[in-house]
Amino acid sequence: MAKNYFQLSLISAALMSSTAWADSLKAIDVSVSNETLATGYSPTQSVAGRKSTTALMRTPISVEVVSNKLMKDQGVDHVIDALNYHSGIVSNYRGSNQRMEITIRGVGNKANSNGGTVPTYVNGVSYAADYAIRPFFLERIDIVKSPNSVLYGQSNPGGVMDIVTKKAQGKNQGELQFILGSNQRY
């Protein structure tokens, strides 16, 4: 009896199946434009990874660059606020005088006098103080996320932060900024 059902199902499947023809392909017109590609906040080069201007793609270590445009668009007041949006970096204020406390990849530098912060450089020169810096004067912040004592001397395994200041433009110019908000923010 089971054999008859099997044969019956095979015969019915063969009779019910029909050939399905595929649709014909339509030609697609492809045009190339000479428009520029928007890169957003993606920088192309940094000095921090090799102590010379190098393309980020050719830098053998992990370097993260925070540009001035990104800091302006985020509306940050201090460097600490700009670093809070980046992976592997924890930044806080310490004490009543707004000192920076930064760790990269979970490692600070407890051995130095700065407390628990990573080594910080301004234009490649060691910045021994850890007072909060306003981003108005900065071109970018380069964060090197790896041990790099060859480039920066004694440092911690988490990484270092190099703050690059703006260069003089050789012309008179000014900028006025006013921020208004709630909770005594002005």
> What are the tokens at 62?
């992990």
Q: What is the pLDDT of residues 87-105, one digit of tens each?
A: 888 887 777 766 777 788 7
- Mean pLDDT in residue range 37-54: 66
Give the mean pLDDT of 51-77: 79
SS3 63: strand
CA distance 110 to 114: 8
CATH code, 117: 2.170.130.10
pLDDT at 50: 60
From the list 39, 65, 61, 48, the residue with the least C-alpha distance to 140 is: 65
What is the SS3 assignment for 54? Answer: strand
In a domain, 4, yes or no: no
Q: How far apart are CA 119 and CA 39, in angstroms?
A: 30
- Look up the pTM and report it: 0.64
For residues 47 and 122, give the distance between their C-alpha atoms in angstroms, rounded to a whole number: 12
| Alpha-carbon span 176 to 5, nearest angstrom | 88
Give residue-wise pLDDT tens across range 107-162: 775 544 445 567 788 888 888 776 777 888 888 888 888 776 666 666 677 788 88
Q: Which domain holds residue 84?
A: 44-165
Residue 17 lies in a domain: no
160 located within any domain: yes
Report yes or no on 56 lying in a domain.
yes
- Average pLDDT estimate for 25-46: 72
Residue 47's pLDDT band (boundaries 50, 70, 90)?
Answer: low
In the chain, the number of structural domains is: 1
Domain assignment present for residue 171? The answer is no
Mean pLDDT rounded to a whole number for the chain: 75
Residue 176 lies in a domain: no
